[in-house]
Amino acid sequence: MRQLIGDQVVSILPGDYHATAEAICISTLLGSCVAACLYDPVKRVIGMNHFLLCGTRSLTNTPLLFTESGRYGVHAMELLINAMLKLGAEKRNLRAKAFGGATIIASNATSPGVGELNCRFIRTFLENEKIPLLAEDLGGIHGRVIYFLPEDYSVLVRRIRKSTEADIAKRDRALLERLQREKHRKKSGDELWD
């Protein structure tokens, strides 16, 4: 769900994306989620998504793009890229900046956490798609609020204080639990009503 803040900023929520050829700033709040900021400097089209990968890699030799985790990220990236192409962007011109993937929810030492999987995924996806990753602020332990500016394709990053990170961790846990419930319902054939 997008929220227009004033007439110059669009704020996106987890699971969302926005692409535009207008001079509109796109913003989001990130914890362990990742936002990919893509732009075509020739056609002047920008876009951002906000995705949370769920699940873990069960086979260590399986490429991340072919796992359950990768499918969620691939879906988010394809939606964003296709929306930008519809606005006139050309894939060969796309450039990327990536943010988020913090360790907000502690994971056990034997497997990577959601934030780390997200960081691995976005780097691998962009490399495979031959979209240059020109800037990143991935990983770490702090959430971020980011603002993607259309004028010069810069991204402003504001680190989140610890008190706010508890709220982000709670939201991330709720999203993970909801995705797990949806997966379970799909396996059992139940319908999902929100």
> What does pLDDT average to in each consecutive run of 10 residues of the chain (194 residues)?
61 91 94 95 97 54 47 85 97 97 70 83 94 96 92 92 63 69 59 42
- Domain boundaries of the chain, sorted by first residue: 2-188
How many residues are present in the chain? Answer: 194
β-pair partners for 112:
none
Cβ 118 vs Cβ 52: under 8 Å: yes
Tokens 């009503």 belong to residue = 193
**Global confidence as pTM:** 0.74
CATH class entry, domain 2-188 = alpha beta
| Residue 126 token pair | 């962009």
